[in-house]
Structure 1
Amino acid sequence: MTSSIQNETISSLLANIGLEGTAVSPVLETLGQVDHRYLRDLKINVGNVLNSSQHLSGKETRLLALSVAVNEKHQPLIDAFTAGARQEGATDAEIAEVLACTSLLATNNVFYRFRHFTGKDYYQQTQPGIRMSIMMNPVLGKEFFELVSLVVSAVNGCELCVRSHEESVLKHGATEARVFDAVRLGAVVKGLITLV
Structure 2
Amino acid sequence: MSIETLKAAVPPYARDLRLNLDSVLATDLLSEQQLWGAVLACAMTTRSATVIRAVAAEAGDRLKPEAIEAAKAVASRMAIHNIYFRAKHLIGDEAFEGLPARLRRQVSSTPGVGAADVEAWSVAVSAITGCGVCLESHERSLRGAGVSREVVDEVLRVAAVVHALAVTLDAEAASF
Partner residue of 2:174? none
Offset at 1:73? 1.5
Distance 1:55 1:148 in 2: 14
Root-mean-square deviation (Å): 2.1
Partner residue of 1:127? 100
Offset at 1:18? 4.2
How much identity, in percent, do the aligned residues show?
A: 26
Offset at 1:162? 0.6
Assess if the C-alpha contact under 8 Å between 2:38 and 2:159 holds in 1: yes
Supply the AA of the counterpart residue of 2:135: V
Distance 2:40 2:119 in 1: 15
Assess if the C-alpha contact under 8 Å between 1:71 and 1:106 holds in 2: yes
Query: Deviations along 1:153-193, whole A, 9 cap, x unmatched?
Result: 11110111111111101112211111111101110110111
Assess if the C-alpha contact under 8 Å between 2:75 and 2:122 holds in 1: yes
SS at match of 1:44: helix
Query: Deviations along 1:32-51, whole A, 9 cap, x unmatched?
Result: 4xxx3x32x12111100112
Query: Deviations along 1:44-71, whole A, 9 cap, x unmatched?
Result: 11100112x1211233222211111101
Partner residue of 1:19? 5
Partner residue of 1:47? 22
Partner residue of 2:73? 100
Q: Which moved more, 1:159-168 or 1:59-68?
A: 59-68
Find the partner of 1:172 among 123, 142, 145. Answer: 145
User: TM-score, normalised on structure 2?
Assistant: 0.86
Find the partner of 1:70 among 44, 51, 63. Answer: 44
Q: Are residue 191 (structure 1) and residue 164 (structure 2) matched?
A: yes
Distance 1:64 1:100 in 2: 12
Distance 2:34 2:59 in 1: 8
Distance 2:17 2:82 in 1: 28
Task: Select the structure of larger CA radius of gyration.
Answer: 1
Assess if the C-alpha contact under 8 Å between 2:44 and 2:72 holds in 1: yes
User: TM-score, normalised on structure 1?
Assistant: 0.78
Offset at 1:128? 0.8
Offset at 1:83? 2.3
Gaps of 5+ in 1: 1-13
Gaps of 5+ in 2: 170-176
